[in-house]
Amino acid sequence: GAGVSQTPSNKVTEKGKYVELRCDPISGHTALYWYRQSLGQGPEFLIYFQGTGAADDSGLPNDRFFAVRPEGSVSTLKIQRTERGDSAVYLCASSLNGGAAYNEQFFGPGTRLTVL
Amino acid sequence: AQSVAQPEDQVNVAEGNPLTVKCTYSVSGNPYLFWYVQYPNRGLQFLLKYITGDNLVKGSYGFEAEFNKSQTSFHLKKPSALVSDSALYFCAVRDLERAGSYQLTFGKGTKLSVIP
């Protein structure tokens, strides 16, 4: 079946602009995660959704970052007033049921964000 | 706080030889442990996980990992390396004591190069 998809695959923007990154999880997966991966580093957790609600947003770096999942499926990560330090690959993952902590997460290919 | 250490940035091994990619972790409670592989320009792919039970877990593509609680390690192994195994490998941990959150904490990754 289809895996996790993310659009766009690449996004180049200017400092100060607003961007939206989209994630389409595997059908039936109730848990959705956003991570950020900087060059030479492992992914770092940003936010976790169980259904429509953000169950854990402790990884969001500041209030410029916001994410939604209004219908419990597709999620959008929104970044306001982008800064050069926001440049990274943004990864989305989903899993069958976040309440079952042993379930592995399935990752999308990522969106590479470049802030000029 | 939970953390993962992958002490080797790069591991080189000759094709056909056994390989080991090291991982140690730190959590306050019992861990769930995962290995993922990342090929260039592709998302992370799940390899295997340790939840409970047998300390030796087997995963995809002939990989296995051994959980050692006393050494807080979860090293990835394969008896005979293939050139196609060349990729970036990430170890990740989830702390069961952190109720309500299912984020993974990743190591920095280890680049595996299998030499023909």
- CATH code assigned at A20: 2.60.40.10
Q: Is residue A19 one of the residues assigned to a domain?
A: yes
User: How far is Cα A33 from Cα A90, in angstroms, rounded to an integer?
Assistant: 11
- Residue B36 confidence (pLDDT): 97
Q: Predicted confidence band at A19 (pLDDT cuts at 50, 70, 90)? A: very high
* A40, A95, A109: residue with CB nearest B43: A109
Which residues from A are below 8 Å from B27, CB to CB? Answer: none
Q: Which amino acid is at B40?
A: P
- Residue A101 confidence (pLDDT): 67
Which residues from A are below 8 Å from B92, CB to CB? Answer: 42
Contact by Cβ (8 Å): B53, B39: no
Contact by Cβ (8 Å): B87, B37: yes
Question: Does the distance separating the beta carbons of B109 and A42 come in below 8 Å?
Answer: yes
Q: Is residue A108 one of the residues assigned to a domain?
A: no
Which residues from B are below 8 Å from A45, CB to CB? Answer: 103-105
Q: What is the pLDDT of residues A92-105, one digit of tens each?
A: 999 987 556 678 89
> Which positions ≥6 away from B17 have C-beta within 8 Å?
B80, B81
- Residue A98 confidence (pLDDT): 56
Q: What is the pLDDT of residues A52-101, one digit of tens each?
A: 988 889 999 999 999 999 998 999 999 999 999 999 999 999 998 755 66
Closest CA to B19 of B86, B106, B73, B72: B86
Question: Does the distance separating the beta carbons of A40 and B36 come in below 8 Å?
Answer: no
What CATH number does the domain located at B3-115 have?
2.60.40.10
Average pLDDT, chain B: 92
Question: Does the distance separating the beta carbons of A43 and B106 come in below 8 Å?
Answer: yes
Give yes or no for A53 touching B (CB within 8 A). Answer: no
Give residue for tokens 């990430």.
B90
Q: Is residue A105 one of the residues assigned to a domain?
A: no
Q: How far is A38 from chain B (nearest CA, A)?
A: 10
What's the CA angle centered on B47, arms B45 and B49, to 5 degrees? 125
Contact by Cβ (8 Å): B10, B2: no
Q: Is residue A62 one of the residues assigned to a domain?
A: yes
- H/E stretch holding B66: strand B64-68
Share of chain A above pLDDT 90, in %: 81
Give yes or no for A77 touching B (CB within 8 A). Answer: no
Give residue for tokens 């690449």.
A10
Number of domains in chain A: 1
- Residue A1 confidence (pLDDT): 58
Give yes or no for B108 touching A (CB within 8 A). Answer: yes
Under DSSP, is residue B61 helix (H, G, I), strand (E, B) or coil? helix
Give yes or no for B43 touching A (CB within 8 A). Answer: yes
Give yes or no for A39 touching B (CB within 8 A). Answer: no
The yes-or-no verdict on residue B73 having pLDDT over 70 is: yes
Closest CA to B103 of A47, A10, A94, A53: A47
User: How far is Cα A61 from Cα A79, in angstroms, rounded to an integer?
Assistant: 11
Question: Does the distance separating the beta carbons of A58 and B100 come in below 8 Å?
Answer: no
Average pLDDT, chain A: 93
- Domain of A81 in residue numbering reads as 5-98
